[in-house]
Chain A
Amino acid sequence: MSSNNGLYPGLNLGSVHDEAHQQAEATVFGFWVFLMSDLIIFGILFASYASYLNPIGMAGAPGPQALFNLKSVAIQTAFLLFGGVAYAGVSLSMKYDHGAKKLIGWLLICALLGGGFLFFEISDFIDQAAKGGKPQASGWLSSYWLLVGLHGFHVFSGIVWILAMVGQILTRGVDDVVKVRLSMLGVFWHFLDLIWVGIFSFVFLVPLA
């Protein structure tokens, strides 16, 4: 455990002092484990979404054709993917020590893009509810709202986390703990993209196909 190369290529931990390093490694590993667990949750929700995606599950309530607005979904996808790209800025400025200002700048860009995603998602939800597509209308709609809503909630938490990190950078500077957390945040942020790809294809595209 003497060398830190290969562990987190982008991390550039300062004074490599073994104990802290080990803790960082455990923390990052633990976070991956957490995401695995989270992935199971999404997996189950995808499966149940599929199981309600039939006339009985839709119970005569408005279905995908009536509710989905692919254009808005495409815009949301763009926001989220650009958000993911923008996080590369965070990672790079962390790696090359570009300073707190740049770091905060990139973080805020990510938060903004995430916010844009949420704006369109929520307006879709409002629109759908107005068309009778409330989660209370059918089993299929319940599963749609839960799955997509949970992802949206994750994005929201991601934004809160970004803001909390900005707060931490301002109060404690870019220390090792902050770096480790930023790298975990990055994993989380990209994880949300990954889930979204699943949602985009299975939730939105498949029923319309």
Chain B
Amino acid sequence: MSGQSSPTFGNLDWEVTPYTDLLEHVNSSTIIGAGAASVLVLGAFAGIALLTYMRWWKPLFRDWLTSADAKKIGIMYIALALVMMARGIIEGLVMRAHQATALGALDKAETGLVAPDHFAQLFSTHGTIMIFFVAMPLLIGLINFVLPQQLGARDMAFPVLNQVSLGLTAAGAGLVMVSLLIGDFGTGGWTMYPPYTGLDYSPGEGVDYWLWAILISGVGSTLTGMNFAVTIFKSRAPGMHLMRMPLFCWTSLCVAIMLIYAMPALTVSSAMLALDRYAGFHFFTNASGGNMMNYANIFWMFGHPEVYILILPAFGVFSEISSTYSGKRLYGYTSLVIASMSIAVVSFMVWLHHFFTMGQSAGVNIAFGIATMIIGIPTGVKIYDWMATMWRGRVRITAPVVYLVGFFLLFVIGGLSGIILANPSIDYQVHNTTFLVAHFHNVIIPGVLYGMLAGVHYWFPKAFGFRLDESWGRRTALLFVGGFIFTFMPLYVLGLMGLPRRSPTFQDPDFLPWMYIASFGAVLMLAALFCLLWTFWKSYRHRMSLSVPGGDPWNGSSLEWSTPAPVPEWTFASIPKVQARGDWGETKRAGDPWRAPDSYADIEMPANTAHGLIIAGMAFALGFAMVWHIWWLAALSFFAITAALIWRGMRVIEPRIIPARQVEEEDRRFREYVAGATPITRADEESERNRGVPDCSEFAG
């Protein structure tokens, strides 16, 4: 970004890539920057080559990118999240490696693996990616995949809107990815507090990358929230009363409501910051009546509900697996519903705890501190409920249960540090230190990450028809647990010793031992990531012996286990009539659960469409053009999006009809398979004999 802005290319020129920096100075920082860009470019080429070589372009386009099936959309969300997670974890490791080499002195320029500015970009992209492009897509993906199946619905209420949401999320993720190669990212952290991120102190494209990634994907998430809410209220199978829904549906409902009410705040704060930066407005500038406190206020009106948006689906997963793998009914269903709902509601009343230190009166701090502690009550109740679920059960130590146990033991420590931070008088001390960093990783990793990975493990057979290798699954889980302990426990200590978060350097040699431990932990986390990939790969290779066409590998009780694995596009050959909570379990208990429906009817499914893909492409172009001030492209893509929306609105769109005959044929085949298979008891769950047809007589929960 050297010269004048050009009308065609905006602020883009040949000097924006990290290779220019590398040519100017060769050091570890520029090498890492150029290396990361190269990985991106080579990865993209490798992907293209693979798709071409395997002739996968067509299937990719036809079966995935243009599909409006919530299950496929869910899987694509999760795939996106895993790719982004790889980057996020590697960035975490680089930051840890940097800090382990960053002991410096006040009068010497900073040393260490990367330059301070590069470090700042790392924590900013890492935080942004992990929250918005790992945790969010993981949970949105999982909900997309599971929710309709659990509700007894064929799809989301608005399948094409769903596709658009995915597209917008992917476009945002794409912008963050492109910033590796083209230009810099912002340095204001995932919160991007002005005035530091205003035009005066952060000229250049960095903050804009963040803004457009957030604005675009934020719209996607808002729409997702609406889609979930309408689905839950309007698309449940007959008889699926609210109080019969599995807990995961309840937490999804909480997520939906919170997305609807919380995301607008993020959109507003980001839009205001964008107006400051692009149009010279004065919302958060130092001068002319701007006030950055408003940013903190609005941002955290989104930000705090957001952390519960992240954690609640994980709580839903834990409710499902604690019951299934204990062979027992969920203890305290009503309590859990009440607890989830109260968490969702109270989480809108505590945002101020993110800035106890802004100088407001003690009374205000007291009120918000107490409100924060109140959230601890339902959260604690939930944990006890799951323990009560396992008590007097028959617990199988599968990979999801390892995650669950890791969650129990670690999450309560995160809860403890949360309670500590809720005390304004202590928060004055540990706010903005690595104690806080340890705290939020302590709730996010054991909570969200373990929960989502446990869910992926649990529902994987539904999606692909084969189980994941349990041994490797357990190893992965154990590595994530161990990695977490080594990486983040030291940060509590460092925080208490007074190390600020986001520190590119420090001067106290006493910090070093803890830094080394944390770096070791980060290596373990990377190992866990590889172990996870290895689990996928190994299970894929052994997919025949792991296959579970019977569809009920864990002897579960909610509706999704009544269908074949992989689950057909239309999910249910005929929409079930729900009689009870845990309907599938009750059916099994009554005997002869796999009875064929009396009759089959044609099924309407949403037709494939490239609508989402087009919107995604245009949204990416819009974001990129705005970042680089390529005004013609921005205007063009904006109008293209509007035109695409109006054009689609004008047309009459016919659904795709799946003839009853086809449904019947496939369904018959499934039922014959089940009838012919040997049911297995839970003792054989991990063996090759598990074909997804459980021994119903053992079903007691």
> What's the tally of chain B residues with a CB closer than 8 Å to chain A?
41
Binary contact track B290-319/A, C-beta < 8 Å → 1, others 0 = 110010001001000000000000000000
Residues in chain B near residue A86, CB distance under 8 A: none
CB B532 to nearest CB in A, in angstroms, measures 35
Q: Sort chain A's interface into a size bin.
A: 35 or more
Mark out the residues of chain A between 45 and 61 whose CB falls within 8 Å of any chain B CB in the assembled complex: 45, 48, 51-52, 56-59, 61
- Chain A, interface SS category: helix
Asked if A127 is at the interface of the complex by the 8 Å CB criterion, the answer is no
Closest A residue to B647 using CB positions: A164
Mark out the residues of chain B between 249 and 288 whose CB falls within 8 Å of any chain A CB in the assembled complex: 260-261, 263-265, 267-268, 271-272, 275-276, 279-283, 285, 287-288
Given A26-B234, A30-B227, A44-B301, A136:B279 Cβ within 8 A: yes
CB B152 to nearest CB in A, in angstroms, measures 14
Asked if A177 is at the interface of the complex by the 8 Å CB criterion, the answer is yes
Closest A residue to B229 using CB positions: A33
Residues in chain A near residue B279, CB distance under 8 A: 135-136
Question: Does B283 lie within 8 Å of A142, measured CB to CB?
Answer: yes
Mark out the residues of chain B between 650 and 684 whose CB falls within 8 Å of any chain A CB in the assembled complex: 650, 652
- Chain B, interface SS category: helix
* Contact for B234 among A22, A41, A138, CB less than 8 A: A22
Given A136-B281, A138-B288, A177-B652, A26:B275 Cβ within 8 A: no
Asked if A140 is at the interface of the complex by the 8 Å CB criterion, the answer is yes
Asked if B289 is at the interface of the complex by the 8 Å CB criterion, the answer is yes
Question: Does B283 lie within 8 Å of A139, measured CB to CB?
Answer: yes
Question: Does A164 lie within 8 Å of B649, measured CB to CB?
Answer: yes
Asked if A8 is at the interface of the complex by the 8 Å CB criterion, the answer is no
Closest A residue to B268 using CB positions: A44
* Contact for B289 among A56, A168, A175, CB less than 8 A: A56
CB A28 to nearest CB in B, in angstroms, measures 10
CA distance A135 to B225 in the complex (A): 33
Asked if B646 is at the interface of the complex by the 8 Å CB criterion, the answer is yes
CB A96 to nearest CB in B, in angstroms, measures 25
CA distance A45 to B290 in the complex (A): 15
Asked if B222 is at the interface of the complex by the 8 Å CB criterion, the answer is yes
* Contact for A51 among B265, B271, B287, B291, CB less than 8 A: B291
* Contact for A44 among B226, B229, B264, B282, CB less than 8 A: B264
CB A169 to nearest CB in B, in angstroms, measures 11
Residues in chain A near residue B298, CB distance under 8 A: 44, 48
Mark out the residues of chain B between 623 and 666 whose CB falls within 8 Å of any chain A CB in the assembled complex: 646, 649-650, 652
19 A/B residue pairs, CB under 8 Å, sorted by A: A25-B234, A26-B158, A26-B230, A33-B260, A36-B261, A37-B226, A44-B265, A44-B301, A52-B291, A59-B287, A59-B289, A135-B279, A136-B279, A136-B288, A138-B289, A139-B289, A142-B290, A175-B652, A181-B649
Given A37-B264, A136-B279, A139-B288, 4 other A-B contacts at CB below 8 A?
A27-B158, A56-B291, A135-B275, A142-B282
